[in-house]
Amino acid sequence: MSSLNLDDFTDLIERPDGGMRRDAEARRERQIVPPGSLGRLDDLGEWLAAAQGTVPVRAVEQPRVVLFAGDHGIAGLEVSARPAGSAVELVRDVLEGSRPVSVLARRLGVPLRVVDMALDCDPEALPADVVRHRVRRGSGRIDTEDALTAEEARQAFLAGVAVADEEADSGTDLVVLGDLSVGGTTAAGVLVAALCGTDASVVTGRGGLAVDDLAWMRKCAAIRDALRRARPVLGDQLQLLATVGGADLTAMTGFLLQAAVRKMPVILDGVVGAACALVAQRVAFRAPDWWLAGHLSGEPGQAKALDRMALEPLLDQGVTVGEGAGALLALPLVQAAAALAAELPEVGKD
């Protein structure tokens, strides 16, 4: 498809340090609270030690919320409760601090970054640092046309890689990854169905605003039609993203892979992030070892993708709003696990 060789990620991505994980497990057995009594927090602390390559584990002190934004042409079929082309309104609300993810990020003291990849608006409508990676205005209607050209897919993927490098270079030690899109869950459903070999009805959910039955049927039909276009290109992951993904989903996939290269842990949010992670797993089988599933969103496509990657959600609070909010709720749990692993004293030590 281009000079970009996704196979390189297989060699570039290493697993988290297994030796450090064993050392963390041994240290946990010596701490004053019996092993297992903290439930999954024990496993999280050990996972972080392996990801960081150090025992005791370091505190997660510089997390960051990164949200990739875009509009999808398939939204024109009224598969979403939001009007087609209106993702810019979500972006503005996030930047102004009035969305759930904005409130949570502010309360938790976590910086928030929005990356416009394909919003259907003039770039002058948003700050320059938000739009500087944009590939195009909106993504194609995937039931009848490709979401992106080959060159646009390459640019979007490399933009995601660049954002991951920017975060790692700035000292970010964990990313909460989410999306701001209209029509994105439909594209995500196509990717999950294609990669898991299932029918459209198995992966079709009702989206963040819970569409009615007629909209769900339209969404299911759109996924079915796009799925026919996806199956012939399953062997080429970048072509798959160009055909039925979109600029934001393609960038998220590149981000996830490069974050694993840079050994930067990521908490996934909903079905869009899970779909991108599933594509990334096809590229590099070790990549999911660097990710956590923040929460269960209720979207059947997300559950299917997480099961395929053997990722167990940290929380199940019924959060369907998207935009990284559910994943951000899981961040304090991860930080608590790090604190307990590092600060609980060992038996017989002062």
Predicted local confidence at residue 75, as pLDDT: 94
State the burial class of residue 234 (Cβ atoms within 10 Å of its Cβ: 0-12, 13-18, 19+): middle
Map out the domains of the chain as residue ranges.
Answer: 8-58+338-343, 63-331
State the burial class of residue 275 (Cβ atoms within 10 Å of its Cβ: 0-12, 13-18, 19+): buried
Dihedral angle of Cα 126, 130, 133, 135, to the nearest 10 degrees: -40
Distance CA 120, CA 314 (A): 34
Q: Which residues are catalytic?
A: 323
- Would you give the DSSP letter of residue 287? G
Concatenated DSSP letters of 87-102: HHHHHHHHHHT-SHHH
What distances in angstroms separate CA 152 from CA 5, 141, 144, 227, 290, one per listed residue? 15, 15, 18, 21, 27
Q: Look up tokens 């875009």; give the residue.
A: 70
CATH numeric code, 63-331: 3.40.50.10210
Two structure tokens written together for 22: 């064993």
- Residue 228 near residue 171, CB atoms below 8 Å: no
CA 88 from chain centre, in angstroms, equals 19
Taking 50 as the pLDDT cut, the residues of the chain under it are: 1-2
Q: What percent of the residues of the chain are helix, what percent strand, and what percent coil, each to the nearest 5? A: 55, 10, 35
